[in-house]
Amino acid sequence: MTKDILDLAGIGIGPFNLSVAALLDQHPNVNAAFFDSKPAFSWHPGMQLPGARLQTSCLKDLVTGADPCNRHSFLNYLVQHRRFYPFLSADMTAISRREFADYLGWVAGRLPSLRFSHGVESVRFEDGLFELRFVNGQAPVYARNLCIGTGIRPNIPPACEALPPGRSLHCIHLMERARDFTGQHVAVVGGGQSGAEVMLGLMDGLWGQPASIRWFSRRANFEPLDETPFTNLYFSPGYVDAFQGLPENRRRELVHYQKLASDGISPDTLQTLYQRLYEYPLEHPGRPAPELLPGRSLYAVTDGAPMNLLTRNRLDDRFEEFRADQLLLCTGFDHGLPSCLSPLNTRLHLDTMGRPSLGKAFNLDWDGPADRAIYTVNQGRFSHGIAESQLSLTSWRSAVIVNHLLGEEHYPVAEQGVSVRWRSETAHDNPPMEDVPKKMSPSGIESI
């Protein structure tokens, strides 16, 4: 029996691989299939909080930036659902997360290449092909190329790792079932967008009426997402191109320096939150007002009833203790290759931090044949920049991957736009003149 060999097997069906699948849907000559362990498509259902909004323009959907006439666009979703004119009249700067999830689900329902309930257990490379084996024992699948889109994993602070289940809960699971924190002392840990949304939910009584609400953030303040135009250029193909070839330590510095461009709190959310806090004593007389504790890192948590939290205040460098019955962790996510790829680990080239190194087309640098690629989506924050883990360049990245797979520039991916020249055009490694001021800073980002 001959094997049915795929040109591309996608592992994971979140928005990023869904976008690759949506572009490939227009290429019947490419035999592709995408696998996900979930029984059906969903987008972070545990964080579908009422009123939560997308932090990205809805035009940055699965396909439009690469192929605006593609039938899987957000605009086509609106037209097919007879919502195009009502949408325009709503005049929203950002659509709801719920609507975006519905759009993604609509696309997923139209793509024959998706296979759900197919958790990938292991991937091996033999005789020039990748072999995918599945958790539920389905027949193995063989492919010439892979696209890894297994997404993110909740980051649990070391102080909480040993807590018994139920005492701490990562926010990504919050809405997976009904919860009631009535009468409990609740501590929210993490001062980004998720933390702000969870605070709003608690104040709105989404999970009952807690006895107290405290919000801890390591950041010095509750800081806004920078959405201004020049910062938004970090989320453009031109900037990714400039970033990609920089030395590793410079890329690392830039990712930290640009943190608030991707991880800050939406200004609208901050405004709503502040107003809600201001009105809280009037709306809830007799109830203790939520307490906001910026600049605190969680130092240690001792289990008990209640738990004891030891924090360190970075402002005055002092330790404090707090009581809590329930910890809600809004502590972000870790990126990394999935365990199913571990049979290939020794064949991957890593950077000095142990992260897989990625080529221009989001292909892992590995010791396999040149005509076999392992593409990854959402693994390149330190190789391609902060746009990598966001929706902004989803369709562009998919176009780069599909072009590489097809071996031709089917989609236009080179950008022309505002004339910011990020990289030097001259090629001197050292200053060409003798008389450079002696006290010039070597290269620190802060000193630019």
Ligand X SMILES: Cc1cc2nc3c(=O)[nH]c(=O)nc-3n(C[C@H](O)[C@H](O)[C@H](O)COP(=O)(O)OP(=O)(O)OC[C@H]3O[C@@H](n4cnc5c(N)ncnc54)[C@H](O)[C@@H]3O)c2cc1C
Which parts of this chain interact with ligand X (CB under 6 A)?
11-17, 35-38, 44, 47, 54-56, 119-120, 149-152, 338, 340, 377-378, 389-392
Q: How far is the CB of 435 from ligand X (least distance, A)?
A: 47
Q: What's the min distance (Å) between Cβ of 185 and ligand X?
A: 25
Give the single-character DSSP code of 386: G
**CA–CA dist 304, 325 (Å, integer):** 9
**Minimum CB distance to ligand X, residue 372 (Å):** 20
User: CB of 169: closest distance to ligand X in angstroms?
Assistant: 14
- Residues 323, 308 contacting (CB under 8 angstroms): yes
Taking the least distance from each CB to ligand X, the nearer of 14 and 290 is 14
Smallest gap from residue 14 Cβ to ligand X (A):
2
The angle that helices 193-203 and 267-283 make with each other, rounded to 10 degrees, is: 20
In the complex with ligand X, which residue's Cβ is closer, 9 or 307? 9
Separation of alpha carbons 22 and 112, rounded Å: 10
Nearer to ligand X, 115 or 314 (CB): 115
Query: Between residues 45 and 281, which has the closer beta carbon with respect to ligand X?
Result: 45
CB of 380 to ligand X, least distance (A): 11
- Which is nearer to ligand X, 141 or 309 (by Cβ)? 141
Of 69 and 139, nearer to ligand X (C-beta) is: 139
Distance CA 74, CA 80 (A): 10
Q: Beta strands of 85-232 (E only): which ranges? A: 114-115, 120-126, 129-134, 141-148, 153-154, 168-170, 185-189, 212-216
Q: Are 143 and 375 in contact (CB under 8 A)?
A: no
Count the helices and strands in the chain (H runs, E runs): 12, 17
User: Distance between CA atoms of 108 and 274, rounded to whole angstroms?
Assistant: 38
CB 40 within 8 A of CB 12: no
